[in-house]
Amino acid sequence: MARITAGVATSHIPLLGVAHDMAKDRDAYFGPIFAGYDWTRDWEKAEKPDVVILVYNDHASAFDMKIIPTFAIGCGERYAPADEGWGPRKVPDVHGHPDLAWHIAQSLILDEFDMTIINEMDVDHGLTVPLSMMFGDVAEWPVKVIPLAVNVVTYPPPSGNRCWALGEAIARAVESFPEDLNVQVWGTGGMSHQLQGPRAGLINREWDNDFLDGLIGDTDRLRHIPHIDYLRETGSEGIEMVMWLIMRGALGKRTAALHRHYHVPCSNTAVGHIVLRPDNGEGLDMTGSGAA
Ligand code: DHB
Ligand code: FE
């Protein structure tokens, strides 16, 4: 049986991809940001997940104003890095897991989540930057990836509550897949940021850390945050954080934090990162290391 063994969340700031690709990740500006991922890189090497369900958003690379799916799942074999204006990043192609992806698509749709199915697309910084942060410089990504794209770019994005419920449905789907697979769910994007307008550069450290706190333990308070609160408190792009709630919903009733990192700023954005386990009462540290 396939098992969800952990949840990982991270910001996906494109500048982190640039820093990584230009080997600037240990300089004075980026060093403290990347240092917060060292723990996770070692941990991922030990965990050896087979598949990552990578919840992310496309930034007008695969979709644009012509087609805006609220929730879409990649059922393809392979996805190339998208050209976002400077040529595609020179990182490996992403390999999918079509058997598990089709199983999840079927399970979700019969569970009344109306997923869009994607067989072909390129993937942008929303998906490739989290892979670089977690795995570094590699010839091949060490996991299969099922892209799960969420519309957080064009109003109206899905509610936090709907995202959490989708995570719960993803857990049911994974648990009913007969092959023995170690599966992680990643939530990406955020944290507080606004890229344009008079409030460009807005960052809300207190709100972000409270959101990180809310992912830990058995509270489900985050699922009830309305869109307007994300907008007011975390800037126009802070709504990306609803994607983290899909990851959280997939982990079940209670979680424990294994690792946590927060840094301000990177570009115009607050960097947040957390590693969670579904907590089955084995006495895990509930606070997370390196709490900000
Ligand atoms: C930035 C952050 C994002 O989430 C994004 O998609 C693009 C740019 C930024 O901070 O520069
Ligand atoms: Fe983004």
What single string gives the DSSP state of each residue in 48-108? --SEEEEEE---SSS-BTTB--SEEEE--SEEEEP--SS---SSPPEE--HHHHHHHHHHH
**Pair of tokens at residue 255:** 């979680």
Mutation test of ligand 1: which of 16, 193, 266 has the most ligand atoms closer than 8 Å to its C-beta?
A: 193
- Band the pLDDT of 281: cuts 50, 70, 90: confident
User: In this predicted model, what pLDDT tens digit does every residue of 37-65 receive, in sequence order?
Assistant: 999 999 999 999 999 999 999 999 999 99
Q: How far is the CA of 192 from the centre of ligand 2 (A)?
A: 11
Q: Is the CB of 68 under 6 A from ligand 1?
A: no
Give residue 125 CA to ligand 1 midpoint distance, Å: 9
Active site residues: 125, 193
Tokens 């569970």 -> residue: 111
Ligand 1 lined by 122 (C-beta under 6 Å): no
272 lines ligand 1 (CB under 6 A): no
Residue with CA at minimum distance from ligand 1 atom 6: 13
Q: Residue 267: CB within 6 Å of ligand 1?
A: yes
In the block, tokens 């007011």 appear at: 232
- C-beta of residue 47 within 8 angstroms of C-beta of residue 6: yes
Q: Which of the 8 DSSP states describes residue 217?
A: B
Domains in the chain (CATH in brackets) are: 3-278 (3.40.830.10)
Closest ligand 1 atom, CA of 237? 4
N-term to C-term CA, the chain: 37
Assess contact for 96 and 146: CB atoms under 8 A.
yes
Q: pLDDT tens-digit profile of 61-84?
A: 999 999 999 999 999 999 999 999
What ipTM does the predicted assembly reach? 0.97
Ligand 1 centroid, distance to 49 Cα (angstroms): 27
* pLDDT band, very low/low/confident/very high, at 290 (cuts 50, 70, 90): very low
Q: What is the pLDDT of residue 289?
A: 52
pLDDT at 256 over 70: yes
Nearest CA to ligand 1 atom 1: 13
Ligand 2: centre distance to CA 190 (Å): 7
Spacing, Cα 269 to ligand 1 middle (Å): 7
Ligand 1 atom with the smallest distance to the CA of 125 is: 6
Q: What is the pLDDT of residues 86-107, one digit of tens each?
A: 999 999 999 999 999 999 999 9
